[in-house]
Each structure stands twice: as C-alpha cells, then as structure tokens.
Amino acid sequence: MRHMTQNLPALVTLLTVLLQFGTVWVVGHARGKYRIQAPAVSGHPAFERAYRVQMNTLENTVMFLPTLWLAAHYGYVFWAGIAGLVWVLGRVWYAVAYLGDAGKRGPGYLVSMVGWAATLVMAALGLGRALLAG
C-alpha cells in the first residue's frame, strides 16, 4: 500500500496526460466529422464544444500539475494524489457533460476546481512550512 501511496501523484500525472490525449483525439475526430479545416476553430457547434473542452482542460492542466507536484514534494504525497484523482474525475465529468450540452459543464468543472484548490492549499502550506523552517 505504501508503494501505491508514494506513486499516486505519478499515476495522476499519467491519467492527466491520457485525458489530454483524449481531448486531442475528440477534437481531431470532430474536425474530420464536421469538415473543419485547420486552422479554423469554429464552424459546427459540436466541434466548437470539443475544441473548448480541449483548450479549457489544457489551461487547467497548466495550473494543476505544478500544484500537484509541489504538494507532493512538500509532504502531502497521499492527499495530493487523492486531490489529483478528484481533479481528473472532475475534468472527465466536465468534458463528457460539455460535449453533450455546454450548459451542463458546471458540476464537473466545480469538482475539478475543488481538487485543484486542495493541491494549491497543500502546496502553499508545505512551501510555507519549509520556508519558515529555514
């Protein structure tokens, strides 16, 4: 169990990469299905939703991964991993909901932001503790 706990942030990182790949694949598939020629990023509403899912997930990943690893580095390996799993599950929920109906993306987004906020708090606490310990 200890081995799994210590590797949880790495597992979350791998799941995040797979999620990113999934959003890229969905956009590429939609681009072909709806005949949206690059570099266009608008056209059919289903393509636009897929594109926004990809971009928003990418934007959030840029904030999430550093806080995940800072939290893990500064002593919150297990809890950072749990918060990271919450983030990944929230992002999947967000993506699936958004692809179907943009108006239903909110709950998944909120869950992912709770996961991110938890990693941010842990990172800040851990870094603050390290700075004070000097």
Element (H, E) at 126: helix 106-133
Residue 18: CB partners within 8 Å, gap ≥ 6?
none
- Residue 96, token pair as written in the block: 């699936």
Instruction: List, for residues 80-123, the tens digit of each pLDDT value.
Output: 999 999 999 999 999 999 999 999 999 999 999 999 999 999 99
- pTM score: 0.95
Q: What is the DSSP string of 3-30?
A: HHHHHHHHHHHHHHHHHHHHHHHHHHHH
Instruction: List, for residues 33-76, the tens digit of each pLDDT value.
Output: 999 999 999 999 999 999 999 999 999 999 999 999 999 999 99
All domains in the chain, ordered by first residue: 2-133 (1.20.120.550)
Distance CA 114, CA 104 (A): 17
